[in-house]
Chains A and B, each alone.
Chain A
Amino acid sequence: MAFIEVRGVQKSFATNGATRHVLRDVSLDVEQGEFVSIVGAMGSGKSTLLSLLAGLTMPDRGTIAIDGEPLRGVHRHAAFVFQNYSLLPWFTALENVRLAVDAAFPDSTREQQVARARDALGKVGLANAVNRRPRQLSGGMRQRVAIARAVATEPRVLFLDDPFGALDALTRETLQQELAGLGSQTNQRVTTVMITNNVEEAILLSDRIVPILPGPPATLGVSIPVDLPRPRTVAQLAHDELATYVRAHVVATLTASPGRLRKLATEPATASRVLPAVAKEMR
């Protein structure tokens, strides 16, 4: 049984009397310790899917289970990183992280809580900025605080909602590397689901990429494994053959016409070194 199991999930919203079907027939398995990226264009329903997984909204139909338990509300071992940081402006970086730590470890002493929060901020390179407020931090630093807040609670599952989407290209790359590094430091990898519209980012970080097929209502395409050794770097991925195929496959799936899509779907991407359908075309 997979760690996260999504079965036949459907979600629509009612706006001014009209019903907007956002997701249909979404099924997904995420294994323990796996990093899965859900990649799709803006407005494709990615965020809706993540807020369903996060337990912030409930599906109209279908089931979501985490660690064998049906999801009712926010999972107790889940942590989140949002695109817009979602830091509280009246708290310093340390206080923002402590808010999460105190809630996750209510039985620890005050000193232990502070130490844990400081440690998390140190890991993302903010040891010298713990007493600054979000307003005094750059976008990249704010997102580091948000990442520290998420990992400080030692979550068993991490949800990343386009975590680098609001950052400039350079900062984005640095932070991607750091997040990849953060994952490889700990001996036990945290199960992670990230949504993004950046294919490169997905290849850099994930074990598997799940394209979200444009709707509405949107659904998930066949997942594409990213069997590349870690640690990965952006520079190395630019020339890697498999990375090139994965990139082409994801882009082809995301931009495919319905007929072309069917063809891709019937030739599922496998864990073998090449992705047949795309590889054939590229030659």
Chain B
Amino acid sequence: MTKRIVNLLLPLCGIALALAVWSIASRMVSDLPSPARTWEESKLYILEPLTKRGETDQGILLLAYYSLMRVAQGFLLGIAIATPVGFLLGVSSTLTRMFDPIMQVLRPISPLAWLPLGLVLFQKSEPAALFAIAVCSMWPTVINTMLGVRAIPQDYWNVARVLRLSKMTTFTKIIVPATLPYMFTGYRLSLGIAWLVIVASEMLTGTPGVGGFLWQEYNSLVYAHILLAIITIGVVGFALDRLMGLAEAKLRAV
């Protein structure tokens, strides 16, 4: 019982400490709003999270929802490409050797670099954002799926051989289930990256969403809202990671 209370109190202490640092910093930097002022100026957005007052002047949940929808599309597009690619690379060492250099070069490219290319390719900001999310977020899924296939124990391959399973059956009954936990680790990391990319791409394209809101409020000198947006981005990202973590844990338990 006491352990539970301590477990609950410790994070609260951490949060209180962080708020204290924030207050002190706001006293030293004149443009940085204090936690109290941030709350005062943001509470309309938090207490009426689903109200739409204007194109960018909307409740915080509504803004987060726009961003999440965009992330969902980009992320699904990304893993729809990344998963089969991962399987192919996992099964064939020839393909791996062929594409490994390209992958290694494409992987570290920042979303900010992909976005202009997306704009050139698609002429519109919405598909360009999806393109940037997909391209940036697919790599962890590609790599984890590939590693997952390679990590399948020889025993399972032997089962497939001695039972004389067809290629299709081997794939659906052995390769996919054996790789699933690795795939989900990939999905979790990919979703994290997709969420990072969305903010950057919204800031650049000015589309409504948490990132777009952040940039617009910076330009209108409402600094408290920058902090609101930052905290929202963090909380949503944390929630996404937890959700994927739960799905992953469920798979590993099998």
Residues of chain A touching chain B, judged by Cβ–Cβ distance below 8 Å, are 54, 56, 73-74, 76, 78-80, 82, 84, 86, 88-91, 99-100, 102-104, 133, 153
Q: Are B164 and A76 in contact (CB under 8 A)?
A: yes
7 pairs of A and B residues whose beta carbons are closest in the complex: A90-B177, A80-B162, A86-B155, A100-B163, A103-B163, A86-B159, A103-B165
B169 in contact (CB, < 8 A): yes
* Interface: B22 (CB within 8 A): no
Interface residues on B, range: 10 to 19
Closest A residue to B253 by CB, please name it.
Answer: A135
Query: Are the C-beta atoms of A74 and B162 separated by less than 8 Å?
Result: yes
Chain B interface SS verdict (over half): helix
A-B contact pairs, 29 of them (CB 8 A): A54-B162, A56-B161, A73-B161, A78-B162, A79-B162, A80-B158, A82-B155, A86-B155, A86-B156, A86-B158, A86-B159, A88-B159, A88-B173, A88-B174, A88-B177, A89-B254, A90-B177, A90-B254, A99-B159, A99-B163, A99-B169, A99-B173, A100-B163, A102-B169, A103-B163, A103-B164, A103-B166, A104-B163, A153-B163
Cα distance, A7 to B178, chains bound together (Å): 38
Q: Which secondary structure dominates chain A's binding surface?
A: loop
Within 8 A of A (CB), among B117-145: none
How distant is the Cα of A222 from the Cα of B116 in the complex, in angstroms? 77
Contact flag A74-B173 (CB < 8 Å), given A84-B155, A90-B254? no
Complex Cα gap A161–B165 (Å): 20
- B169 CB, min distance to chain A CBs, angstroms: 7
Residue ID in chain A nearest B155 by CB atoms = A86
Contact at A99–B165, with CB atoms within 8 Å? yes
Instruction: Please measure, in the bound complex, the distance between the C-alpha atom of A153 and the C-alpha atom of B164, giving whole angstroms.
Output: 11
B162's closest neighbor in chain A, by CB? A80
* B residues 192-250 touching A (CB-CB < 8 Å): none
A82 pairs with B173, CB closer than 8 A? no
> C-beta contact mask, B155-185 vs A, less than 8 Å → 1, else 0?
1101101111110010001100110000000
How near does chain A come to B73, taking the closest CB pair, in angstroms?
30
Chain B residues near A79: list those with CB within 8 A: 162
